[in-house]
Amino acid sequence: MAARVVGRTGRLAAVVRSSAVRLQSRLHGSTGLRSGSQANFFPPLEDAMLPSGSFNNRMALITGGGTGLGRAMTATLSQLGAQCIIASRKLDVLQRTAEEISSQTGNKVHAVQCDVRDPQAVSQCVDQIEALTGLPDVIINNAAGNFVCPSERLSPNAWKTITDIVLNGTAFVTLELGKRLIQNQKGASFLAITTIYAESGSGFVVPSASAKAGVEALYKSLAAEWGRYGHRFNIIQPGPIRTKGAFSRLDPTGAFEKAMIDRIPTGRLGTPAEIANLAAYVSSNYASWMSGAVTPDQWKLLEAMIRKTKGS
């Protein structure tokens, strides 16, 4: 995977994209594979992929870490030695998750209440984190909101709610921590969980698609700008993974799930553990060269430039 690649406009390119999960969704319908065929041969593994202790002495903040994918990422990082802080609105949910994970891994998990839409709450949350663990080494912006709705029925308030959580929330958390990390001359790995339609767009989830695209622009920009401070910025675009939060709002009747699976070459949804392992790798020092990836257009440009080079 590339690091610090000069892009078309002369700026640094800056997105690392998820591998298999995104790829399988990209290949929808094009391979003719029957549902389940690949999954029968290669069942997904649930255990932590990295060596134990990979996150010893590391502090990790996971927004939305009380449920779904955030919870799975927290469990994996904690299992690998990290001290985790999980932050979202529902303190009771966070506390329950923190206790459960901590009792299984033996590592501390702190629960901090925070509504990422509110910059003042984010600032107070970071004060609390500094007091609990010091500034984190790993920041995972995972909190999000979404619901399925025809765009002609969207109210300004519905638009604002989703874009406030996804885009503004990610920006507030990233900027608040980034400023303090820079001031303290401390490097960090930032990871944002976006989605496959952040680039393509998608009907019926337009506020989410727009906000996730904004998150990607934010992370591409900061990968270029803040690399010099020791900050890495990466993005994972998961394909569909059954979580209560996502599926209850996006597929309340379950009708889309089967159609979706039939279009995925591997014949199944992803699992939270698969994203957790990918997130752990991207956030670890095994990926410390990884900050930004080359887009297909940039590859074309680079290839053309390389082909023009004589004598190599």
Q: Which residues bind ligand NAP (CB under 6 A)?
A: 63-64, 66-70, 88-90, 93, 114-117, 142-146, 165, 169, 193, 195, 238, 240-241, 243, 245-246
For residue 74, the SS3 value is helix
H/E segment holding residue 61: strand 59-63
Catalytic-role residue among 197, 229, 281, 286: 197
Between 12 and 162, whose beta carbon lies closer to ligand NAP?
Answer: 162
Between 93 and 148, whose beta carbon lies closer to ligand NAP?
Answer: 93
Between 69 and 278, whose beta carbon lies closer to ligand NAP?
Answer: 69
DSSP 256-302: HHHHHHHTSTTSS-B-HHHHHHHHHHHHSGGGTT-B----HHHHHHH
CB of 57 to ligand NAP, least distance (A): 26
CA pair distance 282, 294, nearest whole angstrom: 16
Q: How many residues in total does the chain contain?
A: 312
Between 143 and 218, whose beta carbon lies closer to ligand NAP?
Answer: 143
CB of 117 to ligand NAP, least distance (A): 5
CB of 257 to ligand NAP, least distance (A): 10
Residue with the CB atom nearest ligand NAP in the bound state? 245
- What residues pair up with 193 in beta bridges, in sequence order? 236
229 is catalytic: no
CA pair distance 258, 38, nearest whole angstrom: 16
Q: Would you name the residues annotated as active-site residues?
A: 197
